[in-house]
Amino acid sequence: MSKTIVITGASAGIGMVLAKQLAARGDALMLAARSADVLRQVARSCGREAYYYATDVTRRQDVNRLRDEALRTFGNVDVWINNAGRGITRNVLELTDEDLDEMMAVNVKSALYGMQAILPHFKERGEGHLINVSSFLGRIPFASFRSAYSASKSALNSLTANLRMDLRAEYPNIHVSLVMPGAVSTGFAVNSLHAPADSGPVPMAQTPEEVVAAMIELIDHPQAEIYTNPDVQLEQVKRYYGGVGEFEENMRR
Ligand SMILES: NC(=O)c1ccc[n+]([C@@H]2O[C@H](COP(=O)([O-])OP(=O)(O)OC[C@H]3O[C@@H](n4cnc5c(N)ncnc54)[C@H](OP(=O)(O)O)[C@@H]3O)[C@@H](O)[C@H]2O)c1
């Protein structure tokens, strides 16, 4: 059955591919990002059931308006996907206050605004699916040049887990999911704050299509957390920390 779905960060990368694939299977979409012209093009390419609303997800008022626009257009929202996000290329000792504030605004507060905007509607209906797009770096911080980005995604992981805890008993049909991709071949690296001009392709990166396949499976069969590239991600934990057991072992030291 087709669903009504809100996607932030739908003007590029993972969000854009997700929009096109969900539209192709008949879902009705409300697409959000800052670049209205690009969004309009994406919405057009998605067909008649795709709408867009120019939104800066770092502004709570924008996110509330996005929710209002989606409800006005569709009457209800089945799935809300907090996908918009941004990286940074700076090690811990180089971080400024502004760097950290930007990472928290675009990767954490943005999703918090989304969760707080749509949950009252989900509670009223007794159902709904909230999906937060995080990163494997939020679980295992092995790329130190992404420091504050990883930290912000760790914060997002915690908020997601806590929201799920709060809803579980009273609202069993509201699902809260976390998506943790590894590297994905989008404009993410070049769009990152302080990205060096020569940001090149990352080895072992997934295509956005591969990530989107995992996300569509998640929409159809909700679960708490997914890793989109588990074999490669397991190898990375082994390479940088010796293995999952060894990583967890630090807790006992
Ligand atoms: N690519 C990777 O390697 C990778 C790995 C793990 C996780 N992720 C996560 O996957 C998600 C999507 O990333 P991507 O790879 O598709 O990156 P991308 O190609 O750079 O796309 C980012 C999207 O987010 C939107 N966005 C950025 N800031 C925004 C803001 N303030 N308000 C509204 N929209 C905003 C951008 O649109 P506008 O610029 O038009 O606003 C764009 O649509 C992010 O949460 C990212 O952290 C990516």
Q: What is the mean pLDDT of residues 138-147?
A: 96
Query: Is the distance from the beta carbon of residue 139 to the nearest atom of ligand 1 less than 6 Å?
Result: no
Q: What is the pLDDT of residues 7-54, one digit of tens each?
A: 999 999 999 999 999 999 999 999 999 999 999 999 999 999 999 999
| Closest by Cα among 105, 126, 93, 121 to 30 | 121
Residues of the chain above pLDDT 90, percent: 91
Average the pLDDT over each of 101-105, 132-136, 179-183, 245-249 and give the range with the smallest value. 245-249
CATH at residue 55: 3.40.50.720
> Does residue 212 carry a pLDDT above 80?
yes
Which pLDDT tens digit goes with each residue over 53-108?
A: 999 999 999 999 999 999 999 999 999 999 999 999 999 999 999 999 999 999 99
**Could you give the count of Cα atoms lying within 13 Å of 88 in the half-sphere of its Cβ?**
25
Among 37, 177, 184, 225, say which to mutate for ligand 1: greatest number of ligand atoms within 8 Å of CB. 184
How does the average pLDDT of the chain come out, rounded?
A: 96
- The count of structural domains within the chain is 1
Mean pLDDT, residues 150-171: 98
Please give the residue range of the domain that contains residue 200: 4-252
Ligand 1 neighbour 15 (Cβ under 6 A): yes
For the CA of 87, the closest atom of ligand 1 is 47
Atom of ligand 1 nearest to the CA of 55: 33
Hey, which residues are catalytic here? 149
Q: What is the pLDDT of residue 245?
A: 86
Residue ID of nearest Cα to ligand 1 atom 1: 184
Residue 181 Cβ inside 6 Å of ligand 1? The answer reads yes
Determine whether the shortest distance from the Cβ of 138 to ligand 1 is under 6 A. Answer: no
Predicted model pTM = 0.97
Residue 145, pLDDT score: 96
Residue 206 exposed, middle or buried by CB count within 10 Å (0-12, 13-18, 19+) = buried
Question: Which residue out of 186, 193, 229 has the highest number of ligand 1 atoms within 8 Å of its CB and is therefore the one to mutate?
Answer: 186
Ligand 1 lined by 58 (C-beta under 6 Å): yes
